[in-house]
Structure 1
Amino acid sequence: MITSGFKLQTAPIQQHLVAQRQRINSIDFLRGLVMVIMALDHVRDFFHVEAMTGDPTDLATTTPWLFFTRWITHFCAPVFVFLAGTSAFLAGQRKTKKELSLFLLKRGFWLVLVEMIVITLGWRFDPLYHLFILQVIWAIGMSMVFLGIMVRLPLPVIFAVGFAIVFGHNLLDGLEAERSGKVGLLWDIFHRSRFSFHPIAPNRGFILIYALGPWAGVMMLGYCFGWLYRKGSDLMARKKTLLALGLSAIISFIILRYINQYGDPAPWSVQRNGIYTVLSFLNTTKYPPSLLYLMMTLGPAILFLYFFERMESRFAKFFITFGRVPFFFYVIHIYFIHLLCLITFFASGYGTKDIVSQTPFLFRPPDLGFNLWIVYGIWLMVVFLLYPLCHWYEKIKMSNKHWILSYL
C-alpha cells in the first residue's frame, strides 16, 4: 500500500519532468518575451492619451520614444506566428501525418471561433457583438487550417510554398495600386486586410486586420524551421544554421531596404535629421506584413535563439512561464487591461453616456489616457500581476496531459 501510494504521488512529478524535457527553453523564452512586449502595445491602445487620435509611426507627429514603443512590438506577431508553425512541427514528432493534420484543422477552426466570440468580447466589452475583430488569433487559426492541409506534403514542398508567399506577395502591391485599393472580399482577406470593415447585417460587421496569405506563409516557414529542432538533431549544427539564417535575414533587410525598390510598399526617405531618417528606414509595413517587415523582425528573433540556446537564469525562467502558456496569457491580459480601462473610465468622471464613443472599444473615449511613462508603469503592473496566474496554469499543463489542454 505504501509503495503504490508513493507511485501515485510521484506520477505527476514524473509527468512534469517528461513534459519539461519535451519543451525547448529557448523557444519558450523567445515566445514569452514577445508576449510580454505585446502587452505593452495593448496597454498603449487603452491608456495612452494619443492612442486613439494619432499614429505612433507617423514621422510628422511622433517622438522617437513613442515610435520605439510601437516599433518594438512589431516583433510580436511575426514571432508568434512563426513559432506556432515550429510548435506544429514539434507536435508532429509525436503524431502521424494524419493525426497532425486533423489536430491542426480542429485547433485552427477552434482558434477562429475563440477570436470571434471570446477575444472580440475582451477587446470590445460588447455582449451584442456589433463588431467582430479578426486579427492575430484569426490569422493563426486559419494558417493552421492551411498548414493542416499541407502537412501531408514533403517538407521541401511546404518550404517552397511558404518561401514563395513570403518573398513574392509584395508583387501584388502594384496590382492593388492600379485598382486604387478597390479590391474584392477575397483579395482583402488574403492580401490586404488593412483595418477594412465589411458589413454582415444592419449595425453589424467585421473588421479585417491580419491578411491570411502572408501570415500563412510565415507559419509554413516556421513549420519547416522546426526541422532544426527535430529529435536527434545536432546542437552545434543547429547553432551554425541559426546564426547563418539570422544574419542573412538582417543583411538582406538592410540591402533591400536601402535599395528602396522591392519588399515594402512604403519606401524610406531622408527626414529632418538623422534620427528620424533611421526611423523612416525602420518604418516598414505591418498591414499586410511586407517582406522587409518580416526580415526585420524574424532575423533578430532567429539570432536570439542562437544566443540563448541554453539560457537557464531566473530572468529567462520568468519569460519562459509566459512562453509556455501564450494563448492563456493572450486571452486573460486583454480582459484584464480592458477591465482596468473600465475602472479608469469611471474614476475619471465619465458616465454611461460616454460608454459608446468614437473608438472601437467601449469604455475608451478618445481623450482618455495618460503620458507614456504612466503607460509603461501600467504595463509592468499588468505583467507582474498576471504572472502568478500564468505560473499556476503552466503547472497544470505540465502535470496534466488531458487533450483539451492542447487547445488552450
Structure 2
Amino acid sequence: MPARIVSIDALRGLVMVLMLLDHLRETWFLHVPVADPIDARTALPSLYLARLAVSLCAPIFIALTGVAAYLFGTRHTLAETRAYLVKRGLVLMAFEILYLSELYWGVASPTLWLQVIWCIGVCMIVLAALIGLPRFVLLAVGLVIVCGHNLLDPIQLRPDQPLFPVWAMLHQRDVIALPLGLVAKTTYPVLPWIGVIVLGYAIGPWFLPGVALRTRERRFVVLGGAMLVVFVLLRLTNGYGDTPWFVVEDSALRTAMSFFALTKYPPSLLFLLLTLGTGALLLVALERIGNRPLVAALAVFGGAPMFFYLFHLTVLRLLYHGAFAIWGATQGTVFGVADYGWVLVWYAGLIVPLYLPTARFSRFKASRRDIAWLKYL
C-alpha cells in the first residue's frame, strides 16, 4: 500500500486547526453575531480576519476528500471504491444527525443541523455515482457546477412548494419542517460542494507516484495563481459570482474587508476561487517545507480528521456547559467572554491538549489496519 502523502495530511490538518478557532468563537463568543458574508461596516477587524482564515477550511477539506477518494480508487476496484464512498458517506450523515445535532443543542432539541459533516457525506455518495465517468467529463461537471451555480441564486422556493425540501438541501439555505415537530436547517446546501469534491477527484492523478514532485508543484502554483487572478478580476467588476463589494468612506481597511467579504452558505464562485486558490498555494508551501516538526504535527491532525472533529467539538461543549453551570449566563442568555482576545487565548491553550489524544489515535489507526471500522474515522 502506498505511503500517505504528507503534504495532503498536513494541509488537511492545517484547516482542522483553523476550524478549531471558529468553533471556539461559537463556544465563547456566540453572543456576537456574524453575518454571511461578514458586514464590513460593523465587524470587529480581528473577528473578520479570523473568519477569513477559517473560510479556507470547508473548501480545502472537501477538495482533498475528492483527492483521497481518487487515491483510494488506485488501490481498489471501482465497485470497492463506490461501496466505500457510500458507506462512509452514510456514516458521516448519521454522525451529523444522531450525535452532532444533539451535542450542540441537547437531546431534547427539535433541530437537526445539516452542517459540513452531512454535506461531506452527501458529496461522497454523489461522487460514488460519478466516478465511473471519464476524467474530462468529471472536470466539465465540476467546473459547470462551481462556476455556474450562482446563476441559480434567483430561484427561491417557498415551504409550501413541492420541491422546496430538495431545493433547500441543494442550494437554498433554509429550514425544512419535519414530522414529530422536528426541523432541519440546511446550513450547507450541497450543490456547489458536489462540484468541489468532483474537481478534487479529477486532479487526483497529479498525486500519482509517476508524477514528479516539481511537476505537481508547478501545476498547483499555476492553478492557484490563476484562480486568484480570476477572483480579483471578477471581484473588481462586481458583475458575477457574489454580492457586490463597496467602498467604506474614510476607511481603507473596511473597504478591503468588503472586497473579501464573500458568501459561504452556499459558497459563491468567488468564495471558492479565493479559498481553493489559496489552498493550492498552501499545498505547494507545505511540500517545499518538507517533513519538519510543524508539518509533521499538522499531518497528525490531518491523519485522523474525523476523530479530531468529534473529539474537539465534544470537549468544547463540555467546557461550555461546565462554565454555564458555574457562572450562568454572562452575555444575554448564554455564557461568553466579553473580549475576542480571550477566544484567542483559549485557542492557544487548547491546541496541544487536543493534539495529544489525536496523535495517539492516529498512531493506533495506522497500526491496526486490520480493524475495518477505523478507516471511517
TM-score by length of 2: 0.93
Once the two structures are superposed, residues 180-231 of structure 1 have per-residue CA deviations (whole angstroms, 9 ceiling, x without a partner) of: xx882211111122xx222213542111100111011100001112110023
Q: Show the counterpart of 2:12.
A: 31
Q: Show the counterpart of 1:406.
A: 375
Q: Show the counterpart of 1:169.
A: 149
Q: Show the counterpart of 1:120.
A: 101
Q: 1:293 aligns with which of 264, 271, 295?
A: 271
Shift of the alpha carbon at 1:312? 1.3
Shift of the alpha carbon at 1:24? 0.7
1:276 aligns with 2:250: no
* Contact kept in structure 2, 1:49 and 1:371, CA below 8 Å: no
Structure 1 residues 241 and 149: CA distance shift in structure 2, 3 A = same
Q: Show the counterpart of 2:227.
A: 249
**Distance (whole Å) between structure 2 residues aligned to residue 346 and residue 303 of structure 1:** 45
Unaligned runs of 5+ in 1: 1-17, 359-364
Q: Show the counterpart of 2:123.
A: 143
Shift of the alpha carbon at 1:318? 1.4
* Contact kept in structure 2, 1:75 and 1:297, CA below 8 Å: yes
Shift of the alpha carbon at 1:164? 0.6
* Contact kept in structure 2, 1:56 and 1:62, CA below 8 Å: no
1:323 aligns with 2:302: yes
* Contact kept in structure 1, 2:67 and 2:204, CA below 8 Å: yes
**Distance (whole Å) between structure 2 residues aligned to residue 243 and residue 54 of structure 1:** 32
Q: 1:388 aligns with which of 356, 360, 369?
A: 356
Q: Show the counterpart of 2:81.
A: 100
Please tell me the residue identity of whatever aligns with 1:157.
V
SS of 2:178's partner is: strand
**Distance (whole Å) between structure 1 residues aligned to residue 144 and residue 38 of structure 2:** 29
Once the two structures are superposed, residues 228-268 of structure 1 have per-residue CA deviations (whole angstroms, 9 ceiling, x without a partner) of: 0023222222111111101001101000011110111x110
* Contact kept in structure 1, 2:246 and 2:259, CA below 8 Å: yes
SS of 1:271's partner is: coil
| Aligned-pair Cα RMSD in Å | 2.3
**Distance (whole Å) between structure 2 residues aligned to residue 189 and residue 162 of structure 1:** 18
SS of 1:308's partner is: helix
1:335 aligns with 2:304: no
Shift of the alpha carbon at 1:54? 7.2
* Contact kept in structure 2, 1:133 and 1:209, CA below 8 Å: yes
Indicate the percent of aligned positions where both proteins have the same amino acid: 35
1:82 aligns with 2:76: no
TM-score by length of 1: 0.86
**Distance (whole Å) between structure 2 residues aligned to residue 40 and residue 300 of structure 1:** 19
Runs of 4+ in 1 over 4 A off after TM superposition: 52-56
Q: 2:346 aligns with which of 357, 374, 378?
A: 378
- Once the two structures are overlaid, the 10-residue window that deviates more, 200-209 or 147-156, is 200-209
Q: Show the counterpart of 1:12.
A: none
**Distance (whole Å) between structure 1 residues aligned to residue 277 and residue 165 of structure 2:** 32
**Distance (whole Å) between structure 1 residues aligned to residue 35 and residue 80 of structure 2:** 47
Q: Show the counterpart of 2:240.
A: 262
SS of 1:192's partner is: coil
Shift of the alpha carbon at 1:130? 1.7
Shift of the alpha carbon at 1:176? 3.8
Q: Show the counterpart of 1:215.
A: 193
Q: How does 1:48-87 map to 2 (within 5 A)?
A: 48=29, 50-52=31-33, 57-87=38-68
* Contact kept in structure 2, 1:98 and 1:152, CA below 8 Å: no
Q: 2:169 aligns with which of 180, 183, 189?
A: 189
Structure 1 residues 30 and 70: CA distance shift in structure 2, 3 A = same
* Contact kept in structure 2, 1:44 and 1:51, CA below 8 Å: no
Shift of the alpha carbon at 1:59? 2.2
Shift of the alpha carbon at 1:47? 0.1
Once the two structures are superposed, residues 2-54 of structure 1 have per-residue CA deviations (whole angstroms, 9 ceiling, x without a partner) of: xxxxxxxxxxxxxxxx6xx6111111111101101101001001101633587
SS of 1:309's partner is: helix
Computing the radius of gyration from Cα coordinates, the structure with the larger value is 1
**Distance (whole Å) between structure 1 residues aligned to residue 16 and residue 335 of structure 2:** 27
* Contact kept in structure 2, 1:245 and 1:302, CA below 8 Å: yes
Residues paired across the two proteins, number: 373
Structure 1 residues 349 and 123: CA distance shift in structure 2, 3 A = closer
**Distance (whole Å) between structure 2 residues aligned to residue 31 and residue 386 of structure 1:** 16
**Distance (whole Å) between structure 1 residues aligned to residue 341 and residue 365 of structure 2:** 35
Shift of the alpha carbon at 1:374? 0.7
Shift of the alpha carbon at 1:319? 1.1
* Contact kept in structure 1, 2:143 and 2:195, CA below 8 Å: yes
**Distance (whole Å) between structure 2 residues aligned to residue 90 and residue 304 of structure 1:** 20
Q: Show the counterpart of 2:138.
A: 158
Please tell me the residue identity of whatever aligns with 2:316.
I
SS of 2:185's partner is: strand
* Contact kept in structure 2, 1:53 and 1:366, CA below 8 Å: no
Please tell me the residue identity of whatever aligns with 1:329.
F
* Contact kept in structure 2, 1:56 and 1:70, CA below 8 Å: no
**Distance (whole Å) between structure 2 residues aligned to residue 158 and residue 56 of structure 1:** 30
Shift of the alpha carbon at 1:400? 1.1
1:199 aligns with 2:177: yes
- Once the two structures are overlaid, the 10-residue window that deviates more, 81-90 or 54-63, is 54-63
